[in-house]
Amino acid sequence: MKHPLIYNQSIHYIEKGQGAPIIFIHGVGLDLNIWSNQVQALSSQYRVICYDMLGHGQSACPPGPYTLEQFVKQLDELFSNLSLSQAHLVGFSMGGMVAQAYAIRYPEKVSSLTIMSSVAKRSEEQRQGVLARVKEVEKQGHKATITAAIQRWFNKPFMEKHPEVVTQIQQRLENNQPNAYLSAYRVFATADEELYEQLAQIQCPTLIVTGELDQGSTSEMAELMVKQIPHSEVVIFPGIKHMLPIEAAESLNQLLLFQLEKYSKKETTK
């Protein structure tokens, strides 16, 4: 189902299933389609909602620069238009930053938070690395960094076994609106600084997950977050790089179903 909503022009989203709502938020340069495995696995028990972030997919692409607050505002508009008083949030990579910021700004609306393959407190070396990619996009265009990104995101055996999946992600990256992508990437490159000192304000049950081999969203970052967020726990997926929702879909879906059931039981026993 596709429903146009009002946020500048529109918020493009899909939803499937009934029950407690879960909103999935994709990463920079991607779109709601990365969640197809999660939609299939969770929609038998939950109302699963996926949307395209501002500047991505079929949602509005207003002129940049963008701020993290704009992405939070867009998510709140989705809550309003779907008449949601509360939802579970699952945010991947940059979507994890949006989910964190939303949980800090609107704690009463977040039933639980899953921060997936996201970043926290980049070191100076890590910061310079991501800013170098921003400069590369500025000089050479949004397609310049795609090949390197694919190599960082997927393990080689998965790429060899599922070339059609990798091609789909590559095409998604190529089809981005250049200025919108750059504006969103700048937010991705810097927003962890403003978020890290606020993480202790997150009060909902929180799951932090990342891949053992993720070079950008490292297990060390996940451990830093779990120390900052009061009601949180961490799971590291062995042998996985960045693309957890796709490459480790089955294991991830089992974990999400287990955690959501646990959170629901806690809610009913309050």
Q: Is position 156 within any domain? A: yes
- pLDDT of 128-142, one tens digit each? 999 999 999 999 999
Domain count, the chain: 1
* Position 223 in a domain: yes
Q: Which domain holds residue 59?
A: 13-268
7-45 burial, b at 16+ Cβ within 10 Å, e below that, comes to: beeebbbbbebeebbbbbbbbbbbbbebbeebbebbbeb
Q: Has residue 256 been placed in a domain?
A: yes
Q: Is 238 exposed, middle or buried (0-12, 13-18, 19+ CB in 10 A)?
A: exposed
Secondary structure of residue 264 in the 3-state scheme = helix
Q: What is the pLDDT of residues 183-228, one digit of tens each?
A: 999 999 999 998 999 999 999 999 999 999 999 999 999 999 999 9
Q: Is 5 inside a domain boundary?
A: no
Q: Is residue 220 part of a domain?
A: yes
- Please report, for the domain that includes residue 127, its CATH number: 3.40.50.1820
Is there a domain that residue 2 lies in? Answer: no
pLDDT range class, residue 5, cuts 50, 70, 90? very low
Tell me, yes or no, whether 3 lies in a domain.
no
d(CA 198, CA 104): 7
| Maximal CA-CA distance, the chain | 55
Task: State the sign of the Cα–Cα–Cα–Cα dihedral 240, 243, 248, 252.
Answer: positive
Angle at 235 between CA 202 and CA 196, to 5 degrees: 35
* Digit-coded pLDDT (tens) for 229-261: 999 999 999 999 999 999 999 999 999 999 999
In a domain, 7, yes or no: no
Average pLDDT over residues 81-92: 97
Find the mean pLDDT for residues 142-167: 96
